[in-house]
Amino acid sequence: MRNLISITDLSVQEIEELIRTAYRIIEDPAHFAHVCDGKKLATLFFEPSTRTRLSFEAAMYELGGHVLSVAGAGSSSASKGESVADTAKVVSCYADIIAMRHPKEGAPQVAAINASIPVINAGDGGHNHPTQTLADLLTIHREKGRLQDLTIGLCGDLKFGRTVHSLIQAMSRYTGVRFVLISPEELMLPSYVKHDVLEKYHVPYEETTDLESAMPSLDVLYMTRVQRERFFNEEDYLRLKDSYILTPQKLKNAKPDMNILHPLPRVNEISVAIDDDPRACYFKQVLNGKYMRMALILKLLEVEA
């Protein structure tokens, strides 16, 4: 039985396979409308979410399946002190697959060890968010036609931003990819990602605090929100929250075909004046996330379609 806890649980070939399935879904959604008839997805979200939970739910409905949902720790037995391990065993009796978001790093891994059905990590603390990465990869693939030979700028909260960590793990496996890491000193990429991924696999990268000077070299600019909920004190958050605000003015030196991505929710990192720029891809990313989650559910449930 397969789980998706880290994006590296999938090989490059398997990611290609998921992307191919997503393209088939986009072309002919009707073909997939009943392939999961009678199957149930449980969404266990112990942290706020709009997109990821609704996206998983929409994905399962569009495959013909059903959804069982626990939204918020306050409304589940976690508030009575139930362990993640026990919750996973219990939910395995009701559902065919679990998508779990949890504030504690590693919680979906614990769930996977204890569940008898596949578990998908829908975000664990400041650690990983592999299904957002699937959305990001399909978006880059649809926009650029490739995942190789790209300079990717990651900007904002690279310390706590779990989508950034998973995206780096995924993109580091493609040839010709280099990263420009743009953040305030205090929100730089954690050394475990730097050492265990970038340096280990000899992926070229540079670190800077200056978005504008990095801009001209970028093929993709991945903006992120400063992760307020992971800060130890509000003062630090307030000091850092406006470090980078992308405005039309700042895009002047960007390549005409640079793609702007953001996992959303946006606070104020991207001015709404950019939303109509053809380079803005963040709402396309949302839709792509649904297609990739559909492809992932099919793969983990071993449904041939």
Task: Please give the positions annotated as active site.
Answer: 51-52, 80, 101, 129
Tell me if 163 contacts ligand NCD by CB under 6 A.
Answer: yes
Tell me if 263 contacts ligand NCD by CB under 6 A.
Answer: yes
The least CB distance from residue 197 to ligand NCD, in Å, is: 18
DSSP 192-252: HHIIIIIITTT--EEEES-HHHHGGG-SEEEE----GGG-S-HHHHHHHTTS--B-GGGGT
Tell me how far apart the alpha carbons of residues 39 and 67 are, in angstroms, rounded to a whole number. 9
- Looking at beta carbons only, is 3 or 132 nearer to ligand NCD? 132
Interacting stretch for ligand NCD, rule CB under 6 A, among 22-30, 88-96, 243-251, 261-269? 261-269
Print the binding letters for residues 213-252 with ligand NCD: x by CB under 6 A, - otherwise. Answer: ------------x---------------------------
Candidates 51, 230, 250, 255; binder of ligand NCD (CB under 6 A) is 51
Q: Which residue has the tokens 């991505």?
A: 261
Residues 186/214, Cβ–Cβ less than 8 Å: no
Tell me if 293 contacts ligand NCD by CB under 6 A.
Answer: no
Contacts of 63 (CB under 8 A, 6+ apart): 32, 33, 34, 35, 36, 39, 294, 297, 298, 303
Residues 134/291, Cβ–Cβ less than 8 Å: no
Running DSSP on this structure, what letter comes out for residue 270? B
- Looking at beta carbons only, is 101 or 194 nearer to ligand NCD? 101
Q: Which of residues 115-134 bind ligand NCD (CB under 6 A)?
A: 123, 129, 132
Tell me if 166 contacts ligand NCD by CB under 6 A.
Answer: no
Task: By CB under 6 A, name the binding residues for ligand NCD.
Answer: 51-52, 123, 129, 132, 162-163, 225, 263-265
